[in-house]
Chain A
Amino acid sequence: MHLLVPPFGNFDYNALLPLGIVAVTPLLVLLSDLVMPPGEARRGIAVGVSVAGLLAAAYVLIEQYLSHQFGPAFGFGFVLGGFSIAFSLIIIAAALFSILMVPTERDDEKEGPVCALMLWSTLGAMLMSGAADLMTIFLGLEILSLALYCLCGMIKGASEIRKREAREAALKYLILSSMASGFMLYGMALLFGTSGSVNLAALQAVPATNPLFTMGCGLFMIGVAFKIGLVPFHVWMPDVFEGAPLPATAFMSVVTKAAMLAVFARFLYSVLTPAGHEALIWPVWATAGLSMVVGNLAALSQIDMKRLLAYSGIAQLGYIMAAMAGTSTLGMRYAIFYLGAYLFMNLGAFSVVALVSRDSEEDGHLSAFSGLGTRHPVLAAAMSFFLLSLAGLPPTAGFIGKILILASTVAAGYVWLAGLLILGTAISIYVYVKIIRIMYVHVDLAHIREIKPLSRAPWIGVAVCAIVTFVFGFYPVALHDVLPRIR
């Protein structure tokens, strides 16, 4: 019995401290929800406690990064390093902005449970960013997903149609995501069979010619690509994004993708090598290329803002995958930088949508934006800025991020991928600038309703995202020490 409990030390628990904070905060949120009467104060407490918890976790993470307390914890179940910290910070920031979209002015809304579920989902994502064995990956994935299934269906005070849409989205997400988990799990089982260990490091020793290994990798990567939403495994994403409530959509658009990307990157960088596993690894770059082109092409004809951002997210993830082409050190740094940039420009755009969407319908139709340039110049300017950034035009983080990706892709020798990136971006110009046009083309304002935001909290998101997108446009803060090393 004694052998089953290895001597875990201080380091192991310190490594998990940020996760612990994020795990405990929702309990406080739920407790306050239980004891307080509905109203302004309860809303404030729910959001305030969540934000405080996330900020505390972020503080601990930054402290860990600055003091370089890197290393494996819990017998290589969780690896604390620049990689996990960078991804965790991105996940926390995304959760913060999403939580700011949660509160509304209505009293029948239950902010507490929504915030709590989001935090637990964040916990799962953070666990995945540091996971270095198959068990931890799956554990994190399930924590992340289970909370999200509920979040997708939780919509209060909306019309029956809207509620039905949300339920449909939740069910769709549940079924398709479970199927992807099934793929992953089967792949993991085969991989475990080849090495006899759940540890990713042990997989490095498996010969590339082993057919079980090839099959296991293939199934595992299909599952991951499904969850990230890379073409051709992307079809579920726009439907779910459209149906889910806006905060959940915003949350999924970054957190799920970041967490799965962390797993994917760790797998690509530490288990596979470009030389030894060429047949396994080139389809990854091919899907990245496909995502950039198909995602943007599909976004061309969308008239619903959430669907459009879903497709745009598919393409953006393609760019990020392209940065990692050839699994180079620089590529990892730029992928993380672009992911961070994507976080701010994407959630900035979502925050604007949250402010513009009317009543409980969360009207994300593009027509809700017509004439915004006259009705609300500041909001329109902010939205234009985020869209320009998504399109990769200066002076934004998207511009500098794109040139960094181009440089690393070309340096790794994947010129064709850089070419596809150019093609995808050229298509995306229409997608994003179409919205700018809708906002600024002169319209008759008589029949357009005033903007009455459900709450003012997303303004914080808009302001912070705009500032960061601008600053990143000139100072790309690409962290060092972000290689997903296991040992």
Chain B
Amino acid sequence: MLTALVCGTIFLGLLTFALPKTADVTAKWLGVAVAFAGFVLVMFLNPWSPPPEESTHWLSYPFSANYHLGMNGISYALVQLLTLVTFCALLGTNVPRQRNFVALMLLLEGTMLGLFLARDLLLFALFWDAMLIPVFLLMIAWSVHPSTAWRFLIYNVTGGLLLLLATAAYGWLYGTTDVIDKGVLPPLSDNWAPWIFIAFAIAFLVKTPVWPFHTWMPDTYAELPAPVAAVVGAVQSKAGLYGFITIGLPLFGPQMWRFAPWMIALGFIGLFYGAFIALVDNDSRKVVAYSSLSHLGLILAAIFVNNQYALRGAVLYIVAHGFFTAAMFLIIGYVESREETRMLSRIGGLARGNPVLAGAMAIAALAMLGLPGLAGFTGELFILVGIYQAGFTWLAGIALIGIILASAYMLRVYQGFMHGPEKPDLPQRPDLAPIEVWALVPLFAALLFLGVYPITANYPDQAYSLVSSTSMSLRAPSGSLTHVAMMTGPAVWGPHAKHGGRGAGGEAPSKLEKK
């Protein structure tokens, strides 16, 4: 099943290359159909009874490695995100030479599916490097300034090589790389573990990206064609965070907590650094890029505060961030294709002529700034509660400031584009076509759904048992922020509450605490 999902997508992507050159429309609809089929297939899967794992022996020396695919709660959340965003991005695509474009997008989706479903470090490293190639090709062939592709590729491949080195070292020390989602494994020796963890961490930090490894990111997101930017900014950037949760927590627990202060510090620096640049940048795509730096910094900190609410919030926010970032990139792409610019200083008053566009952008911007009822709010709330619960009271307060800044820069973009005086030199173009609206609707629906029913945070995953779940519920005064989170929290609702944070945490202390 999982193999069919991964290999099928890659194979159909390659097959698209075989279509005749002129078959742009066929190619697009083939791509949309494949992405949609993938999404439907994923929706039929269930994280509470995951599909059977698929494992085939691959290497036996110098360490044993398997072709091993499997699915846990967090990979399920990311696969849902990936398939839906790819479907929407392909639906909203309108670029020249569409056949090759669609083929590369499908390859991108396939390799990323492989990354999220890989249960073997070597396979993970393989897909990690493989997913860079389609992005690079998309960038050199479709962007205005192909030279920015270098920075993307060299930064990320260097990260990928460190990942490879760490995988090789881990495999040699441990004897096997088939270690993802296997519970807590015996730790490596103290001589090696910190270095291997650092190599993994740098790879993840570059990919996310986190300050100060972010310099490739703004240009990349600005230069990629909008649909690709949507997929890369929304999903590929989550690979690093996914790595911290799925590889870092079980395999490098002690190192994770040892380096946690540094990681939290990097996350918070990114949170403010990104927010402040987003407040002033003239390029709307870069505003979204820097807002990404800001939000992902918060998620990184949430992973490292060692609290179950924060981690559940991080997973929920990863997905929410994916949906609204993808929507925002697609919308800016629509604006670009109409007005031939995306600079805030050159656009104004679009709402009068393009009410649908304005409405769509308003929803995306509100989701981004964390409006209650949309998924961004729920994620942020969980994260803040988690940070507060973990004892970083003052950090939760500081994070709140960063979130307020998000309102400022997102409203700045929305206001600048849609309201104010109309710019006389802007061409008057028609409003969004139905198909462009339909490309956004699933994203908005997902945002709304997760905003009122944040089921993603409740997907079962071993990672949740690896962080501290000390609940402060008894001490929390009624009506406080914590209490609100408790009411909406994972343990209260959902059909499988026994997997939820508070229940599991209260009854069975985590494996980490047992030691």
Contacts and interface: CB of A to CB of B under 8 A. Distances in A.
Interface of A: 330, 334, 373, 377, 388, 391-395, 399, 402-404, 406-408, 410-411, 418-419, 422, 425-426, 429-430, 433, 436-437, 440-442, 474, 476, 478
A463 B64 CA distance: 31
A419 to B, nearest CB: 8
A233 to B, nearest CB: 27
A429 B129 CA distance: 12
B303 to A, nearest CB: 26
Given A437-B149, A440-B141, A393 B164 contact: no
Interface of B: 17, 58-59, 61-63, 122, 125-127, 129-130, 132-133, 136-137, 140-141, 146, 149-150, 153-154, 157-158, 161-162, 164-165, 167-169, 171-172
Contacts of B61: 330, 478
Nearest to B63: A407
Given A334-B62, A430-B150, A437-B149, 4 more contacts: A399-B126, A407-B62, A407-B168, A411-B62
B59 A402 contact: no
A394 B129 contact: yes
Contact of B165 (A408, A418, A441, A478): A418
Contacts of B171: 407
Identify whether the interface residues of A are mostly helix, strand, loop, or mixed.
helix
A440 B154 contact: no
B147 to A, nearest CB: 9
B140 A476 contact: no
Given A426-B158, A442-B141, A408 B62 contact: yes
B165 A410 contact: yes
B141 A394 contact: no
14 contacts: A394-B130, A399-B126, A402-B164, A403-B122, A407-B63, A407-B169, A410-B169, A422-B161, A426-B154, A429-B153, A430-B150, A433-B153, A437-B149, A474-B58
The 4 closest A-B pairs by CB, nearest first: A406-B168, A407-B168, A407-B62, A426-B158
Contacts of B62: 330, 334, 404, 407-408, 411
B162 A393 contact: no
A440 B146 CA distance: 11
B172 A433 contact: no
Identify whether the interface residues of B are mostly helix, strand, loop, or mixed.
helix
A406 B165 contact: yes
B164 A388 contact: no
A410 B164 CA distance: 12
Given A407-B62, A410-B168, A422 B153 contact: no
A433 B126 contact: no
Contacts of A419: 165
Nearest to A412: B172
B172 A393 contact: no
A391 B62 CA distance: 22
A410 B133 CA distance: 27
A392 B129 CA distance: 9
Contacts of B168: 403-404, 406-407, 410, 418
A419 B130 CA distance: 21
A442 B140 CA distance: 9
Given A399-B129, A476-B59, A441 B161 contact: no
The winner among A391, A399, A403, A419 for most chain B CB atoms within 10 A is: A403
B133 A393 contact: yes
A430 B158 contact: no
A403 B121 CA distance: 12
Contact of B140 (A334, A377, A399, A437): A437
Contacts of A411: 62, 172
Contacts of B132: 393
Nearest to A392: B161
A441 B141 contact: yes
A394 B126 contact: yes
A393 B131 CA distance: 10
Nearest to B130: A394
Nearest to A405: B168
A425 B162 CA distance: 11
Contact of A388 (B17, B133, B165): B133
A104 B62 CA distance: 45
B480 to A, nearest CB: 49
B172 A429 contact: no
A425 B129 CA distance: 13
Contacts of B162: 422
B406 to A, nearest CB: 34
Contacts of A478: 61
Contacts of A393: 129-130, 132-133, 157
A404 to B, nearest CB: 7
B133 A406 contact: no
Contact of A406 (B17, B158, B164): B164
A478 B129 CA distance: 23
A408 B172 CA distance: 8
Contacts of B158: 422, 426, 429
A441 B126 CA distance: 26
B164 A403 contact: yes
Given A407-B62, A442-B141, A437 B146 contact: yes
Contacts of A394: 126-127, 129-130
A422 B163 CA distance: 10
B169 A395 contact: no
A399 B123 CA distance: 11
A425 B161 contact: yes
B290 to A, nearest CB: 26
Contacts of A402: 164
Contacts of A442: 141
B125 A403 contact: yes
Contacts of B172: 407, 410-411
The winner among B58, B153, B161 for most chain A CB atoms within 10 A is: B161
B322 to A, nearest CB: 24
A373 B68 CA distance: 35
B126 A422 contact: no
A12 B172 CA distance: 41
A406 B58 CA distance: 18
Contacts of B165: 406, 410, 418-419, 422
A426 B203 CA distance: 13
B372 to A, nearest CB: 43
B188 to A, nearest CB: 13
B66 to A, nearest CB: 12
B118 to A, nearest CB: 12
Contacts of B58: 474
A441 B146 contact: yes
The winner among B136, B150, B158, B165 for most chain A CB atoms within 10 A is: B165
A393 B126 CA distance: 8
A212 to B, nearest CB: 38
A373 B17 CA distance: 12
A385 to B, nearest CB: 10
Given A330-B61, A410-B172, A430-B150, A441 B122 contact: no
The winner among B58, B137, B157 for most chain A CB atoms within 10 A is: B157
A289 to B, nearest CB: 15
A481 to B, nearest CB: 14
Contacts of A399: 126, 129
A410 B162 CA distance: 13
Contacts of A403: 122, 125, 164, 167-168
B283 to A, nearest CB: 23
Given A393-B157, A411-B62, A441 B140 contact: yes
Contacts of A440: 137, 140-141
Contact of A429 (B63, B122, B157): B157
Given A388-B133, A406-B164, A441-B146, A426 B157 contact: yes
B185 to A, nearest CB: 19
Contacts of A425: 157, 161
Nearest to B137: A440
A394 B136 CA distance: 14
B98 to A, nearest CB: 14
